[in-house]
Amino acid sequence: MANESSEGLKRVTVSMAEDTFRALDRVVTERGFDSRSQAISEMIHAHAAEHLGKIGTEIMAGTLSLVYDESKSSLLRDLSRICREHVHEVISSQHVLLEEEHVLEVILMQGPARRLREITNKLITCKGVKSANLTLSPHLMPPLHAKVANPQ
């Protein structure tokens, strides 16, 4: 049952098995949370973002981490082409050179969750991509280009 507190927060009582409780305390300690409540709130928030992302219509920000073999002849061209096709969703990318001609690329995106997953699927199927991991968040970036009523 949820109760409202004076700070606009909701209070929930949770019961859990002893081993789950110990695991929670380890997470609180290892990640440096101030409290169990903060840890549980963060976990629920992350799970809700993942669930909303599966629904697909929710506008979300996302980071896509790719690891690929840059020695594959057409891979860089294919990755660039896909990003250009989705220029409204792809905000920026960061490349980190790894050992043995591998690259870690982190791509920042924003848009409908379904579209971000489609972009991820297109990128991961390119020959030479070793792995891809999309992380979604319902926290959006502010508009990059504000509309100006009377440009001067």
CB proximity list for 122: less than 8 A, separation 6 or greater: 82
CA-wise closest residue to 60 among 50, 71, 75: 50
Tokens representing 20 are 């789950």
Q: pLDDT tens for residues 6-33?
A: 578 888 898 989 999 999 999 999 989 8
CA gap 57, 48 in Å, rounded = 14
Tens digits of residue pLDDT in 34-79:
999 888 888 887 777 666 666 667 888 999 999 999 998 899 999 9
* 9-to-3, 5, 14, 121 alpha-carbon distances in Å: 8, 5, 16, 38
Question: 3-state DSSP helix/strand/coil percent for the chain, to nearest 5?
Answer: 40, 30, 35
Query: What is the pTM (predicted TM-score) of this model?
Result: 0.67
Mean pLDDT of 84-112: 96
How do the domains of the chain map onto residue ranges?
17-55, 59-137
Superfamily of domain 59-137, CATH level 4: ACT-like. Chain A, domain 2 (3.30.70.1150)
